[in-house]
Amino acid sequence: MKPKLTIVKIGGNVIDDPEMLQTVLKEFGQLDGAKLLVHGGGKIASDISKRLKIPTQMVDGRRVTDATTLEVVTMVYGGLVNKNIIALLQSLGTDAIGLTGADANTITAHKRAVKEVDYGFVGDIDVANINTKKLSFLINGGLVPVFCALTHDKQGQLLNTNADTMASSLAIALSGEYDTELIYCFEKNGVLLDVEDDNSLIRELTYLHFQQLKDDGVIHQGMIPKLDNAFLAKRHNVGVTVKHALNLTSPIGTSLL
C-alpha cells in the first residue's frame, strides 16, 4: 500500500485574510500523514506593484508577467508570503520548508508560447519532469514542502506559474508514489450553483455534470480552470475536493466523482 499524501492548495483570498490563514495552517498541520502545501499570492503583489508604480495587466484573470512584474511576484510570492507561512507553520509545530520549482530543481516549466496574448514570463509545468525523487526525499525526511507558484526553466529563468495547476501537477506526479489527495481551499464552500449563495453547494460533482454546468453558464468563470485542473488530477486517481479554507477537516465541500 502506498503511503498517504495530502496536497492542499490555498488561494489568494485566504492569504489576504490573516485569521483564515492562521486557521487553515493550523488544521493543515494536524492532518494525518505526509502533506504538501501550495499557495497563491493574494492581492499583495498587485498592491506592491502599485506602490512601485508598476502597472498590473490581467488577461482572463491571469497576470501578464513582464520582467518587472516577475521581480515583484518573486519578492512577494517567494519571499514575503512564502517565508511568513513557513515561520507560522514552524510556530505551529509543522516542519515546513519553502520552495519554488527552482529549489532542488523540483519543478521545471517552459515559457508559454506567444499566441494571441504574450503572457511574458509565465511557465507551463513539464509534469513528466517533476522531480518526484527529490520531493519524496524531502517528504520522507519528515519535511512539509510549501510551494509558492514560481518555477524555473533550468536555464536560469524563474517563471510565474498558476498555483492551481501547480497543485494538480504535483498531485499527478506524486500519485505514482503516494496515495494522493488534493484539496483546493478557498473562500467559498465549494462548487456552487449560485456563486452568491453558499448553501447552493454541489456536494458531489461528476465530469459530465461539470461539462453541463459549464455549457449552461452556471459555473463561475474563475472556477473553470480550477475544475479543469481538478478533473485532470481525478483522472490520475487523485482524490479531489474543493472546499472552504475554514472547512479543511470538515466533510462540507465538493467532492469530484
Q: Which chain residues interact with a copy of itself by CB under 8 A?
A: 48, 51-53, 71, 74-80, 82-84, 86-88, 90-91, 95-100, 102-105, 134, 137, 141, 143, 150, 152, 154-158
**Least distance from C-beta 218 to a copy of itself, angstroms?**
39
Please check if 217 is assigned to a binding site: no
User: Cβ contacts of residue 35 below 8 Å, gap of 6+?
Assistant: 5, 6, 7, 8, 28, 144
Please check if 112 is assigned to a binding site: no
Strand partners, 67: none
Tell me the C-alpha to C-alpha distance, in Å, between residue 221 and each of 60, 136, 153, 213: 9, 35, 30, 11
Please check if 41 is assigned to a binding site: yes
**Least distance from C-beta 70 to a copy of itself, angstroms?**
10
Please check if 253 is assigned to a binding site: no
**Least distance from C-beta 92 to a copy of itself, angstroms?**
8
Annotation: binding site for substrate: 41-42, 63, 160
Q: Which residues are annotated as a binding site?
A: 41-42, 63, 160
